[in-house]
Structure 1
Amino acid sequence: MFEYLFSQYKNYPTYEIALEVSAILFGLLSVWYAKKNNILVFPTGIINTAIYTYLLWKWSLLGDMMINAYYVIMSIYGWYHWTRKKDDVEEFPISKMTLSEKKWSLFIFAATVSFVALVYTFFNKFTHWTSYVDTIVTGIFFAGMWLMARRKIENWILWIIGDIISVPMYFVKGYSFTSIQYLIFTILAVSAYLEWRKALQQKAV
């Protein structure tokens, strides 16, 4: 079983394996902090995504590479957004999407998918089914990260969908460590959604 899961790493440079494992550890920490509504989600997330931006460029997963570059930018925005307070009260607490935010989320998803499809076409990267899946996942995660930065509970629904799709995609591409990471992400995202929903319900009482 171990051989089946990790045999592809035999030919990988040691530094790439070390980077992937390091990125995974910081990624898990970031999702855990997000689950706990802790601002440390952003610095740990920036380290995770910066490493993956480089690795995904090396692996020719352009869509996911752009996701991670975008995450770095949105993490900085989210970090600022989460720290904003008015009279020592959080200015942007956990909440549900407004109609306007739903429209913006759809726009971000559609615009992202269109842009990534153009990039893949330009570089002639539509050579495997994972490229098409990567295009869709990129749109899901772009919208999810925007909602995360705005502390909207629906961000977890998008993370769950994207994480589930990413598990087989990375496994087929030969990145077992990252595939396992997304499996753990799925479990954490479900738990986080339930925890944020509980916090919303308590606030409503």
Structure 2
Amino acid sequence: MQPVFDFFFNQYYGTPTYLIVLELIGVFFGFLSVIYSKNDNILVYPTGIISTAIFVYILAIYGLLGDMMINGYYFSMSIYGWYIWTRKVDPDHFTPITNTTRKENWQSAFIFIATMIFVFAVYEYFQKWNNWTAYVDTVTTAIFFVGMWQMAKKKIENWIFWIIGDIISVPLYFYKGLTFTAIQYFVFTIIAIYGYKAWKKNLRNDLRPA
């Protein structure tokens, strides 16, 4: 049992206790945020804001620029999403779950490409191309940027981007030494699959004639 424990958590040897505690708190609120998102609950945003603020700090300490930018973006988009989700489209209804339009697909493609270019430029400026993870970060950052934008607009396709990004992030964060965060993304993947199914069911119900 000890070798298994060492394999997963030996990365934390020498890490300040407060950083481990902060990571656990960030993971806890991250779980809450994804669960609330699955349930189409507005609490996805306040819990997400707490989690992302914590991870921006932690990732800055670790010098993981790509991951830090992802969480900084999450933080700002959570504020935007909070506004969209509480906005009424008529006197009785809030913003509904919908499919992306053709225009929004083009916008998603633009966000993806623009994000990759931006992250590449940041890594180039700070000379962070010292590990293969930097190249993966460029892709995952773009994936998550699109996913967060679509989630803020309540587009069901956002779950597809979360699932892909989460799957990539599990081994990536473990390699980076953030085991608890890797476990978090593994659970995120499972929740995202159920989230897609739940939103799809809600979408079908919304499309039924009254």
Match of 1:149 among 146, 149, 152: 152
Which whole-Å CA distance do the structure 2 matches of 1:66 and 1:2 have between them? Answer: 31
Q: Give 1:82-93 correspondences, 5 Å limit.
A: 82-85=85-88, 86-90=90-94, 92-93=95-96
Which whole-Å CA distance do the structure 2 matches of 1:2 and 1:60 have between them? Answer: 26
Retained in 2: the 8 A contact 1:61–1:134?
A: no
Match of 1:158 among 155, 161, 171: 161
Residue 112 of structure 2 corresponds to which residue in structure 1?
Answer: 109
TM-score for the superposition, normalised by structure 1: 0.98
Residue 57 of structure 1 corresponds to which residue in structure 2?
Answer: 60
* Alpha-carbon distance, 1:3 to partner: 1.1
Q: Give 1:1-205 correspondences, 5 Å limit.
A: 1-85=4-88, 86-90=90-94, 92-205=95-208
Aligned residue for 1:11, secondary structure, equals coil
Which whole-Å CA distance do the structure 1 matches of 2:159 and 2:70 have between them? Answer: 16
* Alpha-carbon distance, 1:173 to partner: 1.0
TM-score for the superposition, normalised by structure 2: 0.95
Identity of aligned pairs, percent? 57
Q: Which digits, 9 at most, give the CA deviation of each residue in 1:128-184, with x for residues without a partner?
A: 111110111000001110000000000000000000000010111111111000000
The gaps in structure 1 that reach 5 residues or longer are none
Which whole-Å CA distance do the structure 1 matches of 2:64 and 2:138 have between them? Answer: 10
User: Which amino acid in structure 2 is aligned with residue 106 of structure 1?
Assistant: A
* Alpha-carbon distance, 1:197 to partner: 0.6
Aligned residue for 2:13, secondary structure, equals helix
Which whole-Å CA distance do the structure 2 matches of 1:102 and 1:33 have between them? Answer: 25
